[in-house]
């Protein structure tokens, strides 16, 4: 769904949308496994920067809820993840702030995104919010032992008999020297 400032005049746009799994590509280790419900409102904000200089911002407020499945970073086991997040975001036209040069920005300005001339993609916003909500590195449990680097077995499910201390064959010539 594309949202432009023109869509938001004279009235805001109420959003009540459900995205089915597969509608958005999130990341290689993250999959949406159930419907993702987005509810909110998009409003047009006129930012007056001078007598004839008006910037049309888009404010997007709402929440999203859905079920996901991440992959454990150590053992590659699927991990269910529930996402329930509220957001309040402001987007400006791309290039609006480009001519301001280098300057310090306020903390509030770090929360500002930009949209292209064609408008703001709701799916892009949702993707970003889901990725920001979930941990960057998912673990099935804190003490996950991971996979054996030799046989590939899950060390959480069984202990393997693989040699834990394999030596690179290029070092065999030095085996007879005493260790100091």
The domain spans of the chain are 2-133
* 108-131 residue pLDDT tens: 666 788 999 899 999 999 999 999
- Angle 58-92-65 from CA coordinates, rounded to 5°: 50
Alpha helices in the chain, H assignment, sequence order: 122-133
Cα 159 from chain centre? 35
What pTM did the predictor assign? 0.79
Residue 70 pairs with which residues in a beta bridge?
Answer: 30, 79
Which of left, alpha, beta for 119 (phi over 0: left; psi -120 to 50: alpha)?
Answer: left
Per-residue pLDDT of the chain (180 residues; tens, 9 = 90+): 999 999 999 999 999 999 999 999 999 999 999 999 999 999 999 988 888 888 899 999 999 999 999 999 999 999 999 999 999 999 999 887 766 666 666 666 667 889 998 999 999 999 999 999 999 899 999 999 999 988 889 999 988 878 666 667 787 777 777 766
């Amino acid at each position: 769904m594309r949202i432009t400032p023109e869509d938001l005049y004279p009235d805001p746009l109420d959003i009540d949308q459900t995205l089915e799994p597969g509608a958005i590509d999130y990341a290689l280790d993250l999959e949406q496994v159930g419907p993702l419900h987005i509810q909110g409102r998009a409003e047009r904000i006129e930012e007056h920067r001078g007598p004839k200089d008006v910037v049309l911002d888009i404010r997007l407020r709402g929440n999203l809820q859905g079920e996901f499945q991440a992959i454990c970073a150590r053992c590659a086991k699927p991990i269910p993840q529930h996402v329930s997040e509220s957001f309040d975001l402001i987007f400006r036209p791309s290039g609006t702030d480009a001519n301001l040069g280098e300057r310090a920005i306020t903390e509030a300005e770090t929360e500002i995104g930009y949209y292209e001339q064609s408008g703001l993609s709701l799916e892009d916003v949702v993707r970003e919010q889901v990725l920001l909500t979930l941990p960057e590195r998912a673990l099935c449990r804190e003490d996950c032992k991971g996979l054996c680097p030799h046989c590939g077995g899950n060390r959480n499910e069984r202990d393997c008999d693989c040699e834990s201390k394999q030596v690179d064959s290029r070092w065999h010539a030095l085996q007879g020297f005493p260790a100091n």
